[in-house]
Amino acid sequence: MEGREDGQGARRRDAGNDAERDQRPQNAPPPRAAVLHHETPWGPGAAGQGARPGLELRLHRARHGPPPTAAAVYQDRHDAGGRAGVRVAFDSHAHLQDPAFERDREKVIARAEEAGVSGMLLCGYDTHSNLETLAIAAGHPAVFAAVGFHPHEAKDVTAEMLETLAGQAARPDVVAVGEIGLDFYRDHSPQDAQLRVLKAQLEIAEAVAKPVSVHSRAAEDACLEPLSAYAAGRGWAPGTPPVGIMHCFGGTLEQARRYVDVGFLISIACPITYPSNEESRRMAAGLPLEAIVVETDSPYLPPQKLRGRRNEPANVWRAIEAVAAARGESVASVAAATTHNATRIFGVTLPTKVGIS
């Protein structure tokens, strides 16, 4: 694992260690699910034709239609048995295409849905994972696709690869561009190459009018200028929907506020549960709730009680509980707000089968 356990996670390059992960189901049984009805999933659709950044691309809304209001997402729904008070969560960043999930991916998704995780954003990071992301999301109404090149890949990203990415990003079943960004903590790609590829992907996101999911490890200050320019290009202004998410943000509260001020949400992950990670708890308490989403970064960065094991989307509730504790608010209110924030930025409506009653 490349991510600091007290801050931002990052994709691990050494796939040889995947066999060492504990892939057993979690010890605790998932909460009882309210059985409602799935929406009919859309198929993957035809891949968009290659388009270079800067050329005109058709704009698409997310596959599940316009975002609902908070009241619509969190109304006191009833299942077939008359049970009320359905509670849902949204994991705003996960990597279910990772080899760690090859043996039991369907069970992992089912566990998440049974635990009330009604939305999961699956982020690509290279050519192969982008294709896998599209395939997985096509078969699961609660899984949404984002495509992009991780900063570790920047030195190998060609113009042709960016052209392919532009076509993928234009597809109606892709709701965001990511995982993109800068990583100055490791030296997998030179910083100038990282910045070049980040700017190219921001141009793609601007052309298709879709939000970005940004990795900024040890580069929280360096990302601000290009992301501010992207937000301006998207026409962001206070009161309009955000244009990006700072994934598993590992900076300070003060740095986080700078991103909120230019149109970004701050994503808080399971390391908020680590005793040493006081800054994440300070961030959770100090930011407005409308600026926060939550994530797992699965299979990385499990919560404190599961450290050393594989993470999965069902554990996003641990992040929600920690945010609620830091703020002195209820788990239900934090789950409602962060899920609304995610559905708003991605422009999606959640399937109705999922929820905890």
CA distance 273 to 94: 18
- Give the chain's largest Cα–Cα span: 58
Give the Cα separation of 37 and 35 in Å (integer): 7
Query: What distance in Å separates the CA atoms of residue 288 and residue 259, rounded to the nearest whole number?
Result: 13
Tell me which residue of 195, 131, 139 sits closest to 161, measured CA to CA.
131
Show the domain range for 125.
Answer: 28-43+57-346
E strands, the chain, in order: 89-94, 117-123, 143-147, 174-183, 212-217, 244-246, 264-268, 292-294
Has residue 222 been placed in a domain? yes
| Position 52 in a domain | no
N residues, the chain: 357
Tokens of residue 93, six digits: 């960043």
Residue-wise pLDDT for 7-30, tens only, equals 444 444 333 333 233 333 333 333
Please state, in angstroms and rounded to a whole number, the distance separating the CA atoms of residues 177 and 105: 23
Q: What is the pLDDT of residue 67?
A: 39
Nearest to 95 by CA among 29, 17, 9: 9
Asked whether residue 295 is domain-assigned, the answer is: yes
Query: What pLDDT shows up at residue 352?
Result: 73
Q: Which residue has the tokens 């006191």?
A: 76
Q: What is the pLDDT of residue 247?
A: 99
Question: Is the separation of the CB atoms in 290 and 338 below 8 Å?
Answer: no
Please report how many Cα atoms fall inside a 13 Å half-sphere around the Cα of residue 335, on the Cβ side. Answer: 23
Q: What is the DSSP letter of 16?
A: G
Please indicate, yes or no, if residue 9 is contained in any of the structural domains: no
Q: Which residues of the chain have pLDDT under 70?
A: 1-86, 353-357
Q: Residues with Cβ < 8 Å from 90, sequence gap 6 or more?
A: 117, 118, 119, 120, 121, 293, 294, 316, 338, 339, 342, 343, 350
The Cα 166–Cα 158 span in angstroms is 12
Global confidence as pTM: 0.80
pLDDT tens per residue across span 33-62: 222 222 222 222 223 333 323 322 222 333
Q: Using an 8 Å Cβ cutoff, are 204 and 177 in contact?
A: yes
Residue 178 lies in a domain: yes
Inside any domain, residue 1: no
Confirm whether 357 is domain-assigned: no
Number of helices and strands in the chain (H, E): 10, 8
Distance of alpha carbon 99 from alpha carbon 105, whole angstroms: 10
Indicate which CATH number applies to the domain containing 222.
3.20.20.140
The candidate with the shortest Cα–Cα distance to 9, out of 293, 253, 296, 273, is 296
Structural domain contains residue 336: yes
DSSP assignment of 35-76: ---PPPPP---PPPPP--TTS-------TT-SPPPHHHHTS-
When divided into structural domains, the chain yields a total of 1
Residue 355: what pLDDT?
56
Q: What's residue 19's pLDDT?
A: 29
Q: Which residues of 130-152 are buried (b: 16+ CB within 10 A; e: fewer)?
A: bbbbbebbbebbbbbbbbbbbbb
pLDDT at 353: 61
